[in-house]
Structures are given as structure tokens and as C-alpha cells.
Amino acid sequence: MRTRSIVHTCHEAGFAKVNLRLRVLGRRPDGYHDIRTVFQSIEFSDDVDVSLRIGGRRSVQLLCDREDLNNERNLAWRAADLLLRKLGLKAQVHVRLTKRIPVGSGLGGGSSDAAAVLRAISYLLREPPAQDVLLDVASALGSDVPYFLTGGTAVGSGRGTDVIPVPELPPTWIALALPDVEVSTAWAYRALAENRAAGLTSSGSWTRVGDGGLGSLPFHIGASKSLSEWMLNDFEGVVFRRYPALHEIKRQILACGACHALLSGSGSALFGVFDSFQEASRASGALAAAGVRAEAVRFASRADCGLASEMDEELAKSD
């Protein structure tokens, strides 16, 4: 008698992130740089649909609505393949990926998609892997991927893979600018290192790298202005020098009344902090009128990302 294999499916949202504070320290023995950063999820996401069929030959198929990302180099494909191999699991995984987060924007879209695939497969398995296993796979995939297994507000250190969740920030509104520019993260790190070596420490935001600290984290603030006084990104100097149009967009966001504006990651996305949806929406409209894709979006909590856990209960008790 022939039996039919059961296919299980799961939908995940791959939320983007911004870096509220990013400091780049020295080069590590493994070639990466140590960083200190504060990640924050935002309500802007890719759609990730995963189906799983247990048994038979191990295989992964990816269907992405962007043809240039529809290949085995895609982190979403690699995440599924690596997890199956790590678990020694024979199964067929099909990933359907619908992109909204631009490539090369500093919003972590590829890393978020990879983490969404790991979460989906874990959910679909009868015996889900331990969190440590998922973190090992995530770390092997890329520096930002472990963060997206945590979401919300979190501190990242090491090469970015050491992630500590912290109490959530208020649901702040931002105007998110998405210029039609791709900034290479590898180039940004090289450029930052070269400028330091050239002695260009008298100007640019990398002059603040020295102490390597994160400063006083504003985890209990209620006003966006207090948050803005603490935000910085050590990549802005070198990125703005090469891409002056991005610096101009930051000026435009500030001119729209943002409490502060900042590059996310190594760019090219920028965001401005506002006190209300109405203000963020007006700023996004002004940017769009100037030819820059922009959206008003809100900070997303771990609960918004579907990642709330006992950890958040413990953090709440410590408030």
C-alpha cells in the first residue's frame, strides 16, 4: 500500500533591524572586527514561507521573487541546508521568499530571512533542536543572524554574534529612508580601518571608537529625544565620504524635525526618530517627494516578532 508523505508548512516574518548605536573596535585574530552595538527590530519585514517533508533525499529549494537572489548563495537557502546537515536529517525543505528589505541597506534582511528559516524548520519538527544548536548554525551563517533569533532590543558584542536581550525600548516611530544604493559591509570595514591607519582620527565619527563602551543604555526612557542624545554610528564618516547623497538624506530627515537621524549598520538605509506616527509619516512623505523611498515604521518588540519568552518575564521582574 502506498502512503503519502505529509508536508508541513510555516509562515515567518523576517523583521528588519536598525542599529541604535554601533561602535567598531579592533580587528580580531579571525579577521573580523569586535563591535559593540544595540540592535532594534522594526516593523518592516520580508515574508518567509517554509514547507518541510520528512524522509527521502535531503534537498533544499528556494523560490525568491528577486531573480538575483534565487540561488544557493542566499542565506535563507544556506540556513536550511546547514540545519538539515547539522541535525543529520533527511528531508525536503522548500522556502518561498518575498523581499521588501533592500539588499545592502544595513537592515539585516538576508540575516533575518536566514533566522526565519531556522525558526520555521524548528517549529515544524516533531522534536525541535535545542536553542544552542540553532545559535551555532546562526553564528556559522553570519554575524547578524543570532540576533534575529532574539529580536527586539538587544546588545551585540564580539563580531556581533554574542547577543544579550535587554528590556524593550518604548514603541518609538521612525522615518525609514531606503536609498537606491547598496553599500558593501566588507568595503565599509576596510575603509574604516584604512582611514584610522592614515591618521584621519581628527574628524569623522570614528574618533569615538577609542573607549569601546556602549555608555549608559537608555532602556527606561519614555521620550525619543533622550534616545537620540545617545545614538551614534562609527561607519557614518567613511560611508558619507564615499556616498555624499546619503549624508544629504540624513540632513533632510533632520530638517523634517527628527530628534536624531542615523545610518543603520554600514548603510545605505537611514532612519530618523520622531515623537509620533504623524510626524514620521510627514517626514516619509517629504522624502518620497524628493525621490527617496521612505516609510513610517515603529520599533518592534520581541512579542511583535513572535520571539517573547521566559527571558522577557525575568527582565520584567528586574524593572
DSSP states of 126-167: SSPPPHHHHHHHHHHH-TTGGGGGT-SEEEEETTTTEEEE-P
| Structural domain of 239 | 173-298
Q: Which of 117, 214, 119, 129 is nearest to 164 (CA)?
A: 214
Residue 22 near residue 35 (C-beta atoms within 8 A): yes
Same domain flag for 255 and 111? no
Banded pLDDT at 291 (limits 50, 70, 90): very high
Is residue 211's pLDDT more than 60? Answer: no
Question: Same structural domain for residues 150 and 178?
Answer: no
pLDDT at 218 over 70: no
- Say if residue 94 is in the same domain as residue 159: yes
pLDDT over 50 at 1, yes or no: no
- Looking at the fold, whether 58 and 188 belong to one and the same domain comes out as no
Same domain? For 179 and 161 the reply is: no
Contact between residue 271 and residue 299 where contact means Cβ atoms under 8 Å apart: no
pLDDT for 119 equals 96
Residue 118 lies in a domain: yes
> Which letter, b or e, does each residue of 59-79 get, where b requires 16 or more Cβ atoms within 10 Å of its Cβ?
ebebebeeeebeeeebbbbbb
Three-state secondary structure call for residue 170 = coil
The H or E element that residue 247 is part of is helix 244-255
Q: Tell the burial category of 212 from Cβ atoms under 10 Å away from its Cβ (0-12, 13-18, 19+).
A: middle
208-230 mean pLDDT: 51
Q: Is residue 305 part of a domain?
A: no
Instruction: Note the pTM of the prediction, 2 decimals.
Output: 0.88
Give the model confidence (pLDDT) of 12-59 as tens digits: 999 999 999 999 987 777 777 888 999 999 999 999 999 999 999 999
Contact 32, 106 (CB under 8 A): no
Q: What amino acid occupies position 87?
A: L
Give catalytic residues, as residue numbers. Answer: 17, 144
* Residues 189/194/199/202 CA torsion (nearest 10 deg): -40
Whether 215 is in a domain gets the answer yes
Asked if residues 243 and 267 have their Cβ atoms less than 8 Å apart, the reply is: yes
Please indicate, yes or no, whether residues 192 and 47 belong to a single structural domain of this protein: no
Of 127-141, 184-198, 278-292, least confident by mean pLDDT is: 184-198
Q: Are 92 and 177 within one domain? A: no
Q: Both 70 and 106 in a single domain? A: yes
The residues with which 12 forms a beta bridge, in sequence order, are 48
Give the pairing type, strands 162-165 and 91-98. Answer: unpaired
Residue 314 has, within 13 A of its CA and on its CB side, a CA count of: 5
Residue 39 belongs to a domain with what CATH number? Answer: 3.30.230.10
- Does 131 share its domain with 223? no
Count of CB atoms situated within 10 Å of the CB of 87: 16
Nearest to 59 by CA among 11, 110, 8, 94: 94
Number of domains in the chain: 2
Q: Tell whether 160 and 68 lie within a shared domain.
A: yes
